[in-house]
Amino acid sequence: MISPEATLFTGEAESVVAPAFDGEVGILTGHAPMITALGSGTLSVQNAGSIQRFDVDGGFLQVVDNHVRIVTERAEARS
């Protein structure tokens, strides 16, 4: 996941839940290729039992060959 300020996450994930422009989208291993515009809200990345959360606002999410690429206009890690 990248924003204009920084790369906020790179690595393995078991699941990604993101705020698409028209509702939440969940991504698991083997998800079909897709691209969607992001809305505003919380994006969650789960791996090895831990969950990282980020506030995002705008951008896009792409899934291709079990890789999720997220480019967002604004993102901030949540504690």
Rounded CA gap, 71 and 7, in Å? 9
Structure tokens at 35: 């691209």
Please state which CATH class domain 15-77 belongs to.
Answer: mainly beta
pLDDT digits (tens, 9 = 90+) for 15-48: 999 999 999 999 999 999 999 999 999 999 999 9
* Percent with pLDDT over 70 in the chain: 100
Please report, for the chain, the start and end positions of each structural domain, with discontinuous segments joined by +.
15-77
33 three-class SS? coil
pLDDT at 41: 97
Instruction: Please say if the pLDDT value at position 10 is more than 90.
Output: yes
Contact 44, 17 (CB under 8 A): yes
Structure tokens at 29: 């291993």
- Burial class of residue 12 (count of CB atoms within 10 Å of its CB; 0-12, 13-18, 19+): exposed
